[in-house]
Amino acid sequence: METYRNTAIVFGGLKDALLHFEYVIPMNLSGEFVGLRPARGESGGLVEKFRELGMDGYRELKDSFGEPDALLNLYPPQLAKHPFFKDAVNMFNGFLMAYMFKAVYGDEKFRAYVGHLAQIRHVEKPIDPDKFCPTVEDLQRLFSALVGEFGLQNIPVDCSCFYMGSVKDAPFTDRLFVRQICVIDTSKVTVPQIMEFRKDRETMNKMRNFRLFAYEQYSGKDRAYIEDDIQRRLSDYNEAVKACGFETMVKTLSFLFESKLLIGAFATSAVSLLMGNARLAMEAFGSGAILEVGRLSLEYARQRHELGKICRENPISYIADTKKKLGDFEG
């Protein structure tokens, strides 16, 4: 599927993904609006509670996707038309929500939560709550099955919060960091506001084009052309961010490259050509290297990361992590 440039699978930051991708597949829609998301917190927990349960989240969800086909409009056209895709995503979303709710609120409240859902669905038979709470491994297997069944292998996964493994067991992953990028502070913006902003296609294209520079093919172009093109994309991006009128903050972009990309398309990408050649660029990932491109400082590193375990079927993944302190990124 040739859609990795404009589509993201989202577990954590739905609002960020809506700004940077044309099509979005939300895998944690319920959690996004009730205040739960997969994360590796300071206490070592695997789920983050980022706001209190309340009706505000449900109202925002209804305002955003209350119409029957509203969510389908976010999917790539070929998946929106698929007869089973929406149901498969909803099933995953439900299992993930159950796992997170139990992890945060405990067994007693989880059982009450399942009972409440049964009442809403008018289920008359007794429900065994344990059947609705998967393990982390169950979630990983289900996600992998979705990737394979619906041809999602080439779609990036915006998993800034999907850290559900042990970093000690995670494989080494090649990564490119771009620090100190000014972005819209999505904590100060509602989803309906973003959906309205998305209607300005010219501005949205400028915002997305900068994110794609790491995957752009510059075969046959010299260094000066590549640097000028990247700076033009950055300038257009900054102009688009200022034009939106929303509050801003600093973000670190982290592009995660799997071996399939390094062997193939990466050989003629900006990163490879700016480093001199593909082999030199690949070696830089192992040792760590910094490349200055105008106003950008690109940093390369090879690190252990849980994402490689979760998305082992995916050759390309994109992570975005927002911090209020400059350069504060937890890998």
Residues in the chain with pLDDT values less than 70 = 1-5, 39-45, 55, 118, 120-126, 158-174, 215, 256-267, 282, 284-286, 303-331
CB of 239 closer than 8 Å to CB of 249: no
**What residues does each domain of the chain span?**
7-158, 172-322
Contact 251, 310 (CB under 8 A): no
C-alpha span between 4 and 74 (Å, rounded): 14
Reported as a single tens digit per residue, the pLDDT across 105-148 is: 888 888 887 777 767 666 666 677 777 788 888 888 888 888 88
- Write down the pLDDT at residue 317: 54
CB 157 within 8 A of CB 232: no
CB of 35 closer than 8 Å to CB of 187: no
pLDDT in tens, 136-179: 888 888 888 888 899 887 777 765 444 445 556 666 666 777 88
pLDDT at 322: 39
pLDDT of res. 48: 81
CB 17 within 8 A of CB 32: no
**Whose CA is closest to 177, among 7, 305, 268?**
305
Q: State how far the Cα of 7 lies from the Cα of 155, in Å rounded to an integer.
A: 6
pLDDT for 40: 57
- For residue 292, the number of C-alpha atoms closer than 13 Å in the C-beta half-sphere is 2
Look up residue 317 and give its two tokens.
């993944």
